[in-house]
Amino acid sequence: MGGSRVAVNDLFGQLLQVEPLFSNKEVMRASYTPDDLPHRDAEIRGLGSLLVPALRGETPSNVFIYGKTGTGKTACVKYVGKELSTKGQEIGKRVNLIYINCEIVDTQYRVLQNIANHFVSAENWAQRIPFTGWPTDEVYEALRRYVDGFKKADDQQWSRDPARIAGEVTIIVLDEVDKLKGDEVLYNLTRINGDLQYNKVSVIGISNDLKFTEFLDPRVKSSLGEESMIFAPYDAKQLEDILTQRAGMALKEGVLQDGVIPLCAALAAREHGDARRALDLLRVAAELAERDRNNKVSDTYVRMSQNKIELDRISEVVRTLPTQSKLVLLATILGEESNKDQGVHTLTTGEVFDVYKELCKSTGSDILTQRRITDLISELDMLGIFTARVISKGRYGRTREIQMSCPIDSTKRVLEEDELIRGVVTFKPKKQNRLV
């Protein structure tokens, strides 16, 4: 990079000399589940009391858990699940807890396959169900047998596993259920108890979309929602406690300046009380300070952290935009720049469309209709890349007023990564002589 050829002696030696501020960074990541979840006692107790029947060999109700991102849903479920399994071992009741994130495993087949393979031990891994190839009902059948305590011998015969005592309970956690394609799996899983001889299954569904249940098959809705829990967002005070707890474990003593934690908490509380956001904010702030070889994390770093996180988010969104949307975005940027010369900072749909058409011509892409562009503009608005609000200019019609809401230079740089776009980032739109 760059033109300078100054030799760097012992690059990593130098970098290693930077005094780290972290003692254990993992603790500050969202994937970490602490042993103690502040301000979730009520939820933990509630969930616990819903699941205790498992230890008595009875079937717990299915539970549906709703709450915004970063409200501790997953952490609570994992925590309670862990406790449940430990207690189960103590008293000789086996409880299988199977966690599945439906954002990753999102089809009926793969969910069933995943659950079933939980019962396949490492030594006869060859028995596992392949990720493709079997008819779905056969996977379901295998799953049913496994859950019910059967095992498959090398000769493909099913027999009861003597190690599995009848009456064990399998709890299936489906995180982000709303991401699931189709609701057949839910129907099958909530109904599976009818097909079981010895054991029981209960399902916990987690979602951050409360409206999700509205679109479900009524039968699924009633069986999944036997019990439901709502996780309220954390307030600023609670976020502070969470941050203090984690910072104590993750950071070296005395690296945080007073007021840093309250600031992170306040900023995250403003964004619907997302604990993940608060942790990211603090972690990135500390990383930035560390990189600066500064041994104190101050408010300034929190502000920088906030900018960095937002910028990373925007870059990621822009990078993964479909080409047509990128063209619309570039048209908006170029249009806005050209308008700025004339002292106008906003654009109308029509203006964006005009520039867009020119861009299409010079890149050789298809020109979509204005109706379609209208929708693409709404999408970009929802992604927070720019704001588009409907205004009326009276005699001169009704349109949307569009204004960029993210840094133009860095956005352009991300757009340049696209081969097709690269050639036209410096494109100069024809001056519009519109009435103002």
Choose one: 21-29, 85-93, 296-304, 348-356; the region binding DNA (CB under 7 A). 348-356
Per DSSP bridges, beta strands 227-231 and 63-67 are parallel
Question: Residue 11, exposed/middle/buried by CB under 10 A (0-12, 13-18, 19+)?
Answer: exposed
Q: Is the CB of 133 or the CB of 218 nearer to DNA?
A: 133
Whether the CB-CB separation of 244 and 232 falls below 8 Å is answered with no
Contact pattern from residue 164 through residue 183 relative to DNA, giving x for each residue in contact according to CB under 7 A and a dash for the rest: ------------------x-
Quick one: DSSP state of residue 274? -
215 lines the binding site for DNA (CB under 7 A)? no
102 with 179: CB under 8 angstroms?
yes
Is the Cβ of residue 171 or residue 377 nearer to DNA in the bound state?
377
Question: CB 322 → DNA: shortest distance, Å?
Answer: 6
- Between residue 88 and residue 117, which ones bind DNA under the rule CB under 7 A? 107
Q: Measured between alpha carbons, how far is 430 from 356 in angstroms, rounded to an integer? A: 11
In the complex, the smallest distance separating the C-beta of residue 371 from DNA, rounded to whole angstroms, is 4
- Cβ nearer to DNA, comparing 216 with 376: 376
186 C-beta neighbours (distance < 10 Å), count = 25
Q: Count the residues of the shown chain that bind DNA, applying the rule CB under 7 A.
A: 31
Q: Contacting DNA (CB under 7 A), which of 371, 409, 430, 433?
A: 371
State yes or no: residue 326 binds DNA (CB under 7 A). no
| CA separation for the pair 115, 394 (Å, rounded) | 60
Q: Give the nearer residue to DNA in terms of CB position, either 372 or 422.
A: 372
Please report the beta strands in 304-385, taking only residues with DSSP state E, as ranges in sequence order.
Answer: 347-348
Say if residues 272 and 46 touch (Cβ distance below 8 Å): no
Q: How far is CA 188 from CA 66, 96, 357, in A?
A: 21, 18, 50
Least distance CB 426 / DNA (angstroms): 25
CB under 8 Å, gap of 24 or more: what pairs does 219-224 form? 219/187, 220/183, 220/186, 220/187, 220/190, 223/62, 223/190, 223/191, 224/62, 224/64, 224/186, 224/190
Q: Indicate which single residue of 395, 409, 419, 436 sits in contact with DNA (rule: CB under 7 A).
A: 395
The strand pairing partners of 169, in sequence order, are 95, 200
Binding segment for DNA (CB under 7 A), chosen from 23-31, 149-157, 259-267, 366-374, is 366-374
Contact pick of 144, 145, 277, 400 for DNA (by CB under 7 A): 400
Judged by CB under 7 A, the stretch of 158-166, 202-210, 264-272, 390-398 that binds DNA is 390-398
CB of 385 to DNA, least distance (A): 16
**Residue ranges in contact with DNA by CB under 7 A:** 107, 136, 182, 322, 324, 348-351, 366-372, 374-378, 390, 392-400
